[in-house]
Chains A and B, each alone.
Chain A
Amino acid sequence: MRQEKMTLSLFLMGTLLAGLVALAAQMCLNEAFSLGADPRLLITAAVAGGLGATALMCTRRMWPSLAAAAGVAAVALWQAGTVASSFLGILRAVSELFAACYSFVPVLGTAGGNPAWVLMLLALPLAWVTAWVVCREGSVAAVFLVSAPVLLLCLMIVDVAPVFWLVLLTAVLLLLLLTQSVRTNSSREGGRLSWWLVLPTVILVAAITVLWPPADYVRADWSDTLQTLAEAKLSLQRLGTTILYRGPGWNSSLKTVDLSVVGPRAQTGRAVLSYSASTKLDYLRGVSLGVYENNTWSAIPQSDYTAQSFAIQPQLSLGLNGDREQYLQVTTYASLPVLYTAYGLSEIPDFGQAVDDAYLANRENRREYQISYNVVRGDAGDALDAYDAFVYEHYLQIPKELQEPLEEILDAAGLRAASAAEAIAAWVRELGTYDLNTPAVPAGEDFVLYFLTQSQRGYCVHFASATVLLMRALGIPARYVTGYAVSGAAGESQLVTEDNAHAWVEYYVSGVGWVPVDPTPAEALTATEPEKEEEVQATTEPEEETPPQEEPAPSEEPDTPETPGEAEGMSGSQTHDSSSKEQPDLRWLWLLTLPGAAGLIWLRRVLVLRSRLERCRRGNPNRRALTLWRWLCHLSKANGVPLDESLYALAEKARFSQHTLTEEELQLLQKARNQRIEVLRTRPWRIQLWDRYGRVLY
């Protein structure tokens, strides 16, 4: 490793890159897991780390770096308690998020502690390695290796991946890669080149981000097709997961849904569970949420629910007195905290526990369970009287600022006269356009109002939330429900993936209970295409056949209000307008324009020059002379020096005379050509480029 003297340019570049890598890594973790560390502290640590690390590279020995490391370790030990609590706090935040997505991940650590401590300590080795790579002619692989764990952690859960910081880290790695060949020989030259390449790298990265914005990203069909083909060869679960639409696991508490982060839906294809029911089902119910505040759905407060005692469990109201008991067998791929049930439960299973009027908890962490339900619903009679009061007290809540706008919408739509839940659901269904690419609600806007009055685009979350609030405005108790929309023949094992996650509405009918209704448009529902079936089959266990996801039949319960007869799969990539799918993505053209044009210019030069030289070398001498003369004319125009009369005479002779030019005469023309070309070669490179590739071609 040849070490060169540190120049100011190299020092500044080393500081900049080391600081950026450290900052990007810190902020990735801070934002991905919402650690809450003060960004100013992190920036200070990154800058200080960059400066210090680069300063350590000014010396040629290792002992200053070792001494600095020892000093940092001593400080960390001195503040061991603070660092430990910081570490445990970070561990807690990270493991909570992972536990929400992977049930085999335990929640570790303890809440509390200032995460900035550990993040600042993390910044130092990253800054040192980057400074070493920049100033001591190291390889970019070293920076990639030290930042890989941070990258991996942040990428695992797709929704939380902090795009800006990831892009920044990638840009730094790109810059180091481009300068690698120069830097390995001379760090000074590498630093100088890095300064030159900062702007082009920023432009490139920004261009890609602008042309394909993260917020609007939808996975292309060919990507899914490739994955299907790849998984047929190598069955590998998709990397990464999402915390959204994974059943009730909207976040780690199970009882809240933050609608402000609901944006374009990504198709994951991850299998969640498989089930087999003795009747055809439309929904596997998960969690219901009754409180809407600040763009967030949350469950009824626990204290309110547990303070009540009801004659019957509300969850059983639909299945009361049913005479045809059916069975639902569910097998989950991981232990889920919630039991997924069909409507019309005949009993609360022993291994389940009703929680906060929201869901049935999987008390024993079972992965296989059987639930009995009734298809034909009986009348609950007076059993629900006490629950009625509870429902009317808690499930008519609307935020104060939304009451008036919702009233106006109802009046304008003439929905007061209808006064029926189905009418409201139908109206919302007609109003909105189904679009899985719907971006997140703009900051400051209410999710439901924005959907009803401005965008009128969305998917099940939007339609369900709007319908619930409109029903409540009309005095109909309603709540927001999540689970899976399913279909498939009775008696057969069906596979359910994350893409089947769905949201719909339950409205309360006194004496009956909670009745489901789905306000999501019917045209959003998709018949399963063969490839989707294959894709689903590729992800299932071998013994489980995955039938096509057909449009489910309407519910068989006569009193059950009509639900949209088609289950909505979140395999909604096929629900895009076919016209939008067929439109070619022209953005590629922008990136290919410049190299394409350069390639064409080069090709033209090669072809024209080759043919011209061929015509000068072979064939009739007079024709050769004329080709040379034409070439000389171009060369003369280029350098502005007129041609000799003798050459003109030769050209005339070649053109008009019946004599054939001799070899000596041709050589005169060739010599003149070569001389002119030599003169042009002495010109500045910019003009030469234009001459060689544009004007003259030589």
Chain B
Amino acid sequence: MVKNWFAYLLGLGGTVVFHIYYFGWYSWFLLVLALVLPWFSLIISLMSMLRTRLKLEAPPAVSCGEAAYVTVTAFSGFLPQSHLRFRLTVTAAMSGKKTVLRQRVQNQGSYYVPLDTGHCGSYLCRVEKPRVYDYLGLFWIPVRRSEAVNTLVRPVPQAPAKLPNLSQFLLRRLKPKPGGGFSEEHELRDYRPGDNLRDIHWKLSVKTDRLIVREAQEPVRGLTLLTFDLRGDEETVDSTLSQLVWLSQWLCDHDTPHQILWLDPADCHLAGAAVETPEALEQLIDRLLETPLREDTPSLEGRSFPRATWRCHVVPGEEVKP
């Protein structure tokens, strides 16, 4: 805009000098035209300027490393749009890092701004200081801001370098169901005094000439714990989360409900979430991605959880320590 004003003032100065040294009517005509020109430009541009709108669109969630774009759509109705400038700020929720991109568009249409999905996190895209200029680029008015859009960049599951001992989850361990009752799993054994007579498998007992009892079984459910530290730089967090997601998904795939514990950077208190399904894991990850990090968040690595039957502390880029 400064450049345009400079050019205009230069032109105006030229017409003034021309008028001083040229005594014909044409010099007066040019002088009046030059003086009126900015206002004229503003008036004829006003309709287009007032109708200018900006709309932001971005995918709600993408995987880390996947190409993603913020779509900025500018429109001003039926009139050709004049020069539009705005600042697109992308704020990472976890690191607090703010990227400012100065954008300039000349026409109506959609413009695609690539989003940096190299690191996982929650990225809030917002348009700031949107301004639309008149056709000569001398005056501007603000444009109504569009809603900010948020994009979650989810970690890609990555198997840890050294897997923990997961063998206990490979086989389903069963134990007698307390109180009996219905169960899909049953075990056959000899009758013991005190067993319910209804549990006797009469058919088998007749065949074997022994009293055989059908005992209901249930899976052995201990406290399976995954812990991790929500701290560190972007690569550390990416590695941590991607390993966490892999492990959690593996456990879910093997019907192992588990708990995930971490220290909340906000208050350094223990936070946890129970994960039984992939959807619950996804919700947890989304929640984690929007958590602002702190450098002084302590680690859970050394802490013990005696009640846990199985516990894994996810350490980024290192061997997982069971």
Chain A residues packing against B (C-beta within 8 Å): 155, 158, 161, 163, 166-167, 170, 174, 177-179, 181-182, 184-186, 189-190, 192-193, 196-197, 200, 204-205, 208-209, 212, 214, 217, 219, 223, 226-227, 230, 236, 238-240, 266-269, 591, 594-595, 598, 681, 685, 689
Contact A167 B29 (CB under 8 A): yes
Contact B82 A212 (CB under 8 A): no
Distance in angstroms between the alpha carbons of A112 and B136 in the assembled complex: 47
Contact A174 B25 (CB under 8 A): no
Give the number of residue pairs across the A-B interface with Cβ within 8 Å.
115
Contact A268 B40 (CB under 8 A): no
Contact A166 B21 (CB under 8 A): no
Give the residues from 2 to 48 in chain B that come closer than 8 angstroms, CB to CB, to chain A.
Answer: 17-26, 28-30, 32-33, 36-37, 39-44
Chain A residues within an 8 Å CB radius of B22: 155, 158, 238-240
> Is B129 in contact with chain A by the CB < 8 A criterion?
no
Instruction: Supply 11 further A-B pairs (C-beta < 8 A) apart from A161-B24, A238-B21, A681-B144.
Output: A155-B24, A189-B80, A197-B44, A212-B32, A227-B20, A227-B21, A239-B18, A240-B23, A267-B23, A269-B23, A595-B42
> Is B79 in contact with chain A by the CB < 8 A criterion?
yes
Nearest B residue (CB) for A219 = B23
Give the residues from 32 to 81 in chain B that come closer than 8 angstroms, CB to CB, to chain A.
Answer: 32-33, 36-37, 39-44, 50-51, 79-81
Chain B residues packing against A (C-beta within 8 Å): 17-26, 28-30, 32-33, 36-37, 39-44, 50-51, 79-83, 106-108, 133, 135-137, 144
Chain A residues within an 8 Å CB radius of B83: 181
Nearest B residue (CB) for A595 = B39
Of the residues A182, A209, A217, A267, contact of B82 by C-beta under 8 Å: A182
Contact B135 A170 (CB under 8 A): no
Chain B residues within an 8 Å CB radius of A689: 50
Chain A residues within an 8 Å CB radius of B39: 591, 594-595
Distance in angstroms between the alpha carbons of A186 and B79 in the assembled complex: 13
Report if A266-B23 is in contact (Cβ < 8 Å); known contacts: A178-B41, A208-B36. Answer: yes
CB distance from B78 to the nearest CB of A (A): 9
Contact A182 B135 (CB under 8 A): yes
Contact B135 A179 (CB under 8 A): yes
Chain B residues within an 8 Å CB radius of A598: 43
Distance in angstroms between the alpha carbons of A158 and B19 in the assembled complex: 13
Residue with the greatest number of chain B CB neighbours at <10 A, chosen from A179, A204, A268: A204
Contact B80 A193 (CB under 8 A): yes
Distance in angstroms between the alpha carbons of A605 and B107 in the assembled complex: 30
CB distance from A167 to the nearest CB of B (A): 7
Nearest A residue (CB) for B77 = A685
Task: Name the 7 nearest CB pairs between A and B, nearest first.
Answer: A185-B106, A158-B24, A217-B25, A193-B80, A595-B39, A189-B80, A214-B25
Distance in angstroms between the alpha carbons of A229 and B17 in the assembled complex: 12
Contact A238 B80 (CB under 8 A): no
Report if A163-B25 is in contact (Cβ < 8 Å); known contacts: A190-B80, A204-B40. Answer: yes
Chain A residues within an 8 Å CB radius of B41: 178
Distance in angstroms between the alpha carbons of A83 and B77 in the assembled complex: 52
Chain B residues within an 8 Å CB radius of A179: 135
Contact B23 A158 (CB under 8 A): yes
Distance in angstroms between the alpha carbons of A412 and B46 in the assembled complex: 64
Report if A181-B137 is in contact (Cβ < 8 Å); known contacts: A161-B26, A239-B22. Answer: yes
Distance in angstroms between the alpha carbons of A226 and B20 in the assembled complex: 6
Of the residues B19, B81, B135, contact of A223 by C-beta under 8 Å: B19
CB distance from A244 to the nearest CB of B (A): 12
Chain B residues within an 8 Å CB radius of A240: 22-24
Nearest A residue (CB) for B108 = A189
CB distance from B36 to the nearest CB of A (A): 6
Distance in angstroms between the alpha carbons of A588 and B320 in the assembled complex: 83
CB distance from B27 to the nearest CB of A (A): 8
Distance in angstroms between the alpha carbons of A209 and B25 in the assembled complex: 10
Nearest B residue (CB) for A157 = B24
CB distance from A475 to the nearest CB of B (A): 42
20 contacts between A and B (CB under 8 A): A158-B24, A161-B24, A163-B26, A170-B29, A177-B136, A178-B135, A179-B135, A181-B137, A189-B80, A189-B108, A190-B80, A208-B36, A219-B23, A236-B21, A239-B18, A240-B22, A240-B23, A266-B24, A591-B36, A598-B43
Chain B residues within an 8 Å CB radius of A182: 80-82, 106-107, 135
Chain A residues within an 8 Å CB radius of B50: 685, 689
Residue with the greatest number of chain A CB neighbours at <10 A, chosen from B22, B82, B83: B22
Nearest B residue (CB) for A238 = B21
Chain B residues within an 8 Å CB radius of A167: 29
Of the residues A192, A200, A204, A230, contact of B21 by C-beta under 8 Å: A230
Report if A166-B26 is in contact (Cβ < 8 Å); known contacts: A181-B136, A200-B44, A689-B50. Answer: yes
Distance in angstroms between the alpha carbons of A167 and B83 in the assembled complex: 28
Chain B residues within an 8 Å CB radius of A217: 25, 28
Contact A239 B43 (CB under 8 A): no
Distance in angstroms between the alpha carbons of A295 and B141 in the assembled complex: 59
Chain B residues within an 8 Å CB radius of A212: 25, 28-29, 32
Nearest B residue (CB) for A204 = B40
Of the residues B21, B40, B107, contact of A189 by C-beta under 8 Å: B107
CB distance from A418 to the nearest CB of B (A): 41
Residue with the greatest number of chain B CB neighbours at <10 A, chosen from A178, A184, A598, A685: A178
Nearest B residue (CB) for A209 = B29
Contact A155 B32 (CB under 8 A): no
Distance in angstroms between the alpha carbons of A681 and B147 in the assembled complex: 14
CB distance from B236 to the nearest CB of A (A): 42
Distance in angstroms between the alpha carbons of A476 and B43 in the assembled complex: 65
Nearest B residue (CB) for A227 = B20
Distance in angstroms between the alpha carbons of A594 and B42 in the assembled complex: 11
Chain A residues within an 8 Å CB radius of B37: 174
Chain B residues within an 8 Å CB radius of A268: 23
Of the residues B21, B32, B81, contact of A208 by C-beta under 8 Å: B32
Distance in angstroms between the alpha carbons of A186 and B144 in the assembled complex: 25
Chain B residues within an 8 Å CB radius of A269: 23
Chain A residues within an 8 Å CB radius of B24: 155, 158, 161, 240, 266
Contact B23 A238 (CB under 8 A): yes
Report if A595-B82 is in contact (Cβ < 8 Å); known contacts: A178-B135, A214-B25. Answer: no
CB distance from B300 to the nearest CB of A (A): 41
Chain A residues within an 8 Å CB radius of B23: 158, 219, 223, 238, 240, 266-269
Nearest B residue (CB) for A196 = B79
Contact A193 B79 (CB under 8 A): yes
Report if A178-B106 is in contact (Cβ < 8 Å); known contacts: A208-B33, A238-B22, A240-B23. Answer: no
CB distance from B50 to the nearest CB of A (A): 6
Chain B residues within an 8 Å CB radius of A161: 24-26
Nearest A residue (CB) for B37 = A174
Nearest B residue (CB) for A220 = B28
Report if A170-B80 is in contact (Cβ < 8 Å); known contacts: A268-B23, A689-B50. Answer: no
CB distance from B6 to the nearest CB of A (A): 15
Chain A residues within an 8 Å CB radius of B106: 181-182, 184-186
